[in-house]
Amino acid sequence: MAGGPQPPRAAGVSMTPQGLGELEQLVLLAVLRLGDTAYAVSVREEIERRAQRAISRGAVYVTLDRMERKGYLRSRRGPPTAARGGKAKRLFSVAAPGLKALRAALDGTQAMLDGLPPDLAWSPRR
Amino acid sequence: MSRSATLAERIAGFALPRGCREEILGDLLESGRGAGWLVRESVRIGVRYHGECYRDADDRLRIALLFALAAALVWIIPEATARTFGGTSLFTDPVTLAIVAMWRAAHLTSAAAAGLLLGRSALVASHASPSRAHVALGLIGLLFLLHPVRTALAASAALMLAAWIGTLARRSAEGGVSPDDSLSAG
């Protein structure tokens, strides 16, 4: 059992009773990275490119919908284009509760990693 | 746009949830793949939305409760009428005869009542609405267990019709369309 001092938490962050799943974290991070151009296709491509994870389109759509329902994401419609058959894009941005939940989830992961042997410990560029 | 592409788009649209159909179709069309791929991928995404209904424990409980209530209607009403009304009516006026006829067709009235409950009830959250189609399938299975084939077919039709009417009433009460809000995913 690892003892020692409690890990610090980011200011104003409390652990939510319903934490974020791994895909939810990846989706939130992808939306943050993409900024104004975040929609389902670009989110999926960003996760596949950066996290080297193959995920189905359906998984991305239901995760985006769920996160919006929870208030973690906001969506708006972009302009329709001919390449899309005249259909608009649904563009996403991260809302304040989403940022808070993401920070709490990442803090939790970091707290679990703290104190582990160096070969297991996480570093951003390992 | 070719005829097959238009047809594929229609089929694909039917597989997707109402609330986000346009955006998803747009995303799929953007990839510029063929009609077969469009339909396959839409069905895969639609199936994913159907599975999403059961993700939360609270949603699962509500769906189970809705099924239990509707199943109770389908089972109890014909049982009750069979036990309480075995004879013939002494009155021959049209109103009484109509009531008696309706009472005797309890398999239809119970299926219609269950269908109305299924379509109209706000027990299931709008994002879990595709589960109403699963409940309907379960109820149809139950009808075939309880009744002979011909009766079960008629009762199933009554159930689907009433569920459709109930769905329209719910949508109108909710003031229009909300995401994923349909009896089926489409």
Chain A partners of B47 at a C-beta cutoff of 8 Å? 58
Whether A52 has a pLDDT exceeding 50, the answer reads yes
Spatial contact of B70 and B183, defined as CB atoms under 8 Å apart: no
Q: How confident is the model at residue B96 (pLDDT cuts 50, 70, 90)?
A: confident
Segment B19-72, tens digit of pLDDT: 888 899 999 998 888 888 999 999 999 999 999 999 999 999 999 999 999 999
Spatial contact of B183 and B169, defined as CB atoms under 8 Å apart: no
With a pLDDT cut of 70, the percent of chain A lying above it is 80
| Whole-number pLDDT of residue A3 | 43
Q: What is the CATH number of the domain that holds A36?
A: 1.10.10.10
ipTM over 0.90: no
Show the tokens assigned to A98: 């989403």
Q: How confident is the model at residue A119 (pLDDT cuts 50, 70, 90)?
A: confident
How long a stretch of residues is chain B?
186
Do the domain assignments include residue A32? yes
More confident residue, A125 or A84: A84
| Whole-number pLDDT of residue B18 | 83
Do the domain assignments include residue A7? no
Q: How many domains does chain A have?
A: 1
**CB neighbours of B38 closer than 8 A, spacing ≥ 6?**
B8, B9, B12, B28, B29
Q: Do A61 and B25 touch (CB under 8 A)?
A: no
Amino acid letter for position A21:
G
Do the domain assignments include residue A38? yes
Average pLDDT over residues B101-107: 79
Q: How confident is the model at residue B105 (pLDDT cuts 50, 70, 90)?
A: confident
Report the 3 state secondary structure along A68-116. HHCCCEEEEECCCEHHHCCECCEEEEECHHHHHHHHHHHHHHHHHHCCC
Whether B183 has a pLDDT exceeding 70, the answer reads no
CB atoms near residue A54 (< 10 Å):
8
Q: Do B26 and A56 touch (CB under 8 A)?
A: no
What pTM, to 2 d.p., does this model score? 0.78
Element (H, E) at B10: helix B3-15
Among the listed residues B104, B99, B70, B75, the one whose alpha carbon sits nearest the alpha carbon of residue B87: B104
**CB neighbours of B10 closer than 8 A, spacing ≥ 6?**
none
Amino acid letter for position A67:
M
More confident residue, B160 or B11: B160
Residue A51's domain comprises: 22-113
Do the domain assignments include residue A119? no
Of the candidates B29, B49, B52, the beta carbon closest to that of A87 is on B29
Of the candidates B1, B31, B48, the beta carbon closest to that of A61 is on B48
Do the domain assignments include residue A74? yes
| Whole-number pLDDT of residue A124 | 55
Identity of the highest mean pLDDT range in A7-16, A27-36, B94-103 = A27-36
Mutate to test the interface with A, among B25, B37, B48 (most CBs of A within 10 A): B48
DSSP bridge pairs for A87: A81
Spatial contact of B24 and B85, defined as CB atoms under 8 Å apart: no
Whether A8 has a pLDDT exceeding 60, the answer reads no
Whether B97 has a pLDDT exceeding 90, the answer reads no
Whether A5 has a pLDDT exceeding 90, the answer reads no
Do the domain assignments include residue A124? no
More confident residue, B175 or B73: B73
Do the domain assignments include residue A11? no
Show the tokens assigned to A49: 């490119």
Whether A2 has a pLDDT exceeding 70, the answer reads no
Do the domain assignments include residue A33? yes
